[in-house]
Amino acid sequence: MQEGQEAIQKVRAALDANGCEDIKIKITEDTIFTVEDASRAVGAPAEEILKSLVFLVDERPVLVLMSGANRVDIRAVGREAKGKKVRMATPEYVSDNFGFQVGGVPPTGYSVRMPALLDEDLFRYPVVWSSAGTDHAFFPIEPGRLMKLTGGIKAPIRKP
What average pLDDT does range 105-113 have in this prediction?
A: 95
User: What whole-number distance in Å separates Cα of residue 98 and Cα of residue 18?
Assistant: 19
Question: Is 160 a domain residue?
Answer: no
User: What whole-number distance in Å separates Cα of residue 43 and Cα of residue 40?
Assistant: 5
Q: Where in the sequence is the domain holding 135, given as residue range(s)?
A: 2-155
What's the confidence (pLDDT) of residue 2? 46
Question: What pLDDT, in 10s, does the model give residues 3-54?
Answer: 589 999 999 999 999 999 999 999 999 999 999 999 999 999 999 999 999 9
What's the confidence (pLDDT) of residue 62? 98
Question: Is 57 a domain residue?
Answer: yes
| pLDDT confidence tier of residue 1, bands split at 50, 70 and 90 | very low
Which phi and psi (to 5°) does residue 146 adopt? -60, -40
User: Which CATH number covers residue 32?
Assistant: 3.90.960.10
Number of domains in the chain: 1
Question: Is 18 a domain residue?
Answer: yes
Residue 112, judged by CB atoms within 10 A of its CB (0-12, 13-18, 19+), counts as exposed
